[in-house]
Structure 1
């Protein structure tokens, strides 16, 4: 017989429902009154149980909306929560495919083929064309600058650039489609950039994180900032049109996390119907009057004659596998990033800092 206080028994029962996936992120919990009737206790006992789960960052209460499972479960607090979060995401994918007419056997076969393809690609990267270093990752003006001058310090080599977002770049690197990736992925649990994501996507592999720069991220707004925006919570103002970035971009991940910490969700905001693939596209739509605000870097706001509201400084890294690290073109890149010329060129971009440019961190 469980001899722990009743409020702890109630809290543990609900916690197990979350871990099993019986209660999913965003689901509403029963009212205090109905839980009190179910457990034959006072409402105060249930409230204490809910407070316990809230302190564990598993549920949250909003005035007039009841109590819900948090949208972003704290994945780093242990294997059970990680499994519960993963199960919820996989469930969502399976339900979506079944609703479009696929049979369960078809979904199972497709998932198995996809996993086998990932395993094969991770161990057999495709070779790069001679004289070409292939890059994929988050949009960044410093990367564009780097691609322009790359042939001059790398003996005529070419830096082939594809801007696909931070997670998109890591996925293409894992699949062997590129030689290096660019990312600025903030992990809320560890309050660090990039390393936790590298550990998750490249387990057991030796990877180099080479810092390109620190850059100022914030809100890009029309000239004069007519709406007077100053903080993330201002995005919830009625009628304010937000142009969002695509899923998997480091900027979108950061913004969604900040909104969550403020008790907001992206669904509550008025959004432009399309998603932008780059900071430049965000700025272009705002300059054209098609959107009122979007998250981006200060350098791009300046290029389009727009105003900028700084919110944070983030670290942008280049991720390079160990087997690529000793290639002459990569070593030429490392030497250049550690030069005064690089610090002058990158530091000349508005909102960029070069205090750690060229610093190397190995992740294993």
Structure 2
């Protein structure tokens, strides 16, 4: 037998689902006998029996004494919710089983799915904004997130929908400064930020005080993450520091003005007395870490500044330069809502920390730490 039967029974069931959904198999049509289907699929009769039992549980077929197994659920449109959901769960189970059989853990599979979703969003739109949920502020249970891009935000959004189905996280990746400004203007409920203040050598708190004067807020540490140079695999140009960005063979891809990454870069260039004008590609901007990695992957640039998890998602090289703190900022008025507290519970959970750790380049030892700012 060529295929693992754990996967094969699901493939048989999926193929039959599609034939039922398309109308090829109609109500009361008889399926091949277990032995005949086993012969056609090059598997054991037990594998076919398991596939038929799965379809029976879903209400698509039924076994009849002396009459074999017949289709009982007909007239499905291809996007009928019942069939669509059953098919989606089946595919998710197959993905999980394949991941485990390849030596991965369920946590790693979950992290990989989060990366895939983030990459899909990058391909679907050239605009920096993305949404998770039912839209922007159209429901009391919609939490409006505005701020810097990070893969852990996608994980957080998905886990929130699982823990509190009535709540949705509407995501707008506009950079750290943009997020805090949206919070100040009451256009967001949460801001995601990782702004380093050169004068105080501190993350986020000085900016919260400046942009939210007279307002009490809480900064909840989401992650500490590794920031560095994203390069092609094996770093063929042997780039070792920000000073190497001035080399004539280096083509840089930058983050947008106002992003925490850009603020940090500009401060470091100033400290090194490097003029942005001598960096090829400095004026070319993208809005997320994944977009930086994608540009390097597609050979549109030879180097970019971003997080380790983005480099890992595209199989690229990474040279760590610093570790930064990424906080979620809640105004005091929104902190005690049930949705905000659901987010806080998820952030403190072992499941969230393990899934974030599986992405690579993250430290969750202080995840969930709370600091009040006024």
Q: TM over 0.5: same fold?
A: yes
Confirm or deny: 8 A CA contact 2:156 2:347 kept in the other structure.
no
Q: Secondary structure at 1:167's aligned position in 2? A: helix
- Separation (CA, whole Å) in 2 of partners of 1:215 and 1:270: 26
**Are 2:354 and 1:350 equivalent residues in the alignment?**
no
Confirm or deny: 8 A CA contact 1:128 1:179 kept in the other structure.
no
Confirm or deny: 8 A CA contact 2:194 2:260 kept in the other structure.
yes
Confirm or deny: 8 A CA contact 2:276 2:282 kept in the other structure.
no
The equivalent residue for 1:188 is: 198
Q: Secondary structure at 1:200's aligned position in 2? A: helix
The equivalent residue for 2:133 is: none
Confirm or deny: 8 A CA contact 2:308 2:318 kept in the other structure.
yes
**Are 2:299 and 1:289 equivalent residues in the alignment?**
yes
Equivalent in 164, 167, 180 of residue 157 of structure 1: 167
- Separation (CA, whole Å) in 2 of partners of 1:272 and 1:189: 24
The equivalent residue for 2:3 is: none
**Are 2:254 and 1:229 equivalent residues in the alignment?**
no
User: 1:272 Cα shift?
Assistant: 5.9
**Are 2:229 and 1:219 equivalent residues in the alignment?**
yes
User: 1:145 Cα shift?
Assistant: 1.3
Confirm or deny: 8 A CA contact 1:165 1:249 kept in the other structure.
yes
The equivalent residue for 1:313 is: 323
Q: How does 1:21-36 map to 2 (within 5 A)?
A: none
The equivalent residue for 1:29 is: none
Give per-residue Cα distances to partners, 1:132-185, cap 9 Å, x unaligned: 111010000000111122111224311111111000111111111110010000
User: 1:273 Cα shift?
Assistant: 5.3
Two-structure CA RMSD over aligned residues (Å)? 1.4
Q: Secondary structure at 2:177's aligned position in 1? A: helix
User: 1:274 Cα shift?
Assistant: 2.8
Q: Secondary structure at 1:285's aligned position in 2? A: helix
Q: TM-score, normalized by length of structure 2?
A: 0.62
Q: Secondary structure at 2:192's aligned position in 1? A: strand
Q: How does 1:228-247 map to 2 (within 5 A)?
A: 228-247=238-257
- Separation (CA, whole Å) in 2 of partners of 1:128 and 1:156: 13
**Are 2:260 and 1:250 equivalent residues in the alignment?**
yes
Tell me: CA distance 1:225–1:212, structure 2 relative to 1, closer, same or farther (3 Å).
Answer: same
- Separation (CA, whole Å) in 2 of partners of 1:323 and 1:128: 19
User: 1:129 Cα shift?
Assistant: 2.3
Runs of 4+ in 1 over 4 A off after TM superposition: none
**Are 2:314 and 1:304 equivalent residues in the alignment?**
yes
Confirm or deny: 8 A CA contact 2:137 2:144 kept in the other structure.
no
Confirm or deny: 8 A CA contact 2:156 2:346 kept in the other structure.
no
Q: Gapped runs of 5+ residues in structure 2?
A: 1-135
Give per-residue Cα distances to partners, 1:85-105, cap 9 Å, x unaligned: xxxxxxxxxxxxxxxxxxxxx
Give per-residue Cα distances to partners, 1:89-134, cap 9 Å, x unaligned: xxxxxxxxxxxxxxxxxxxxxxxxxxxxxxxxxxxxx976222111
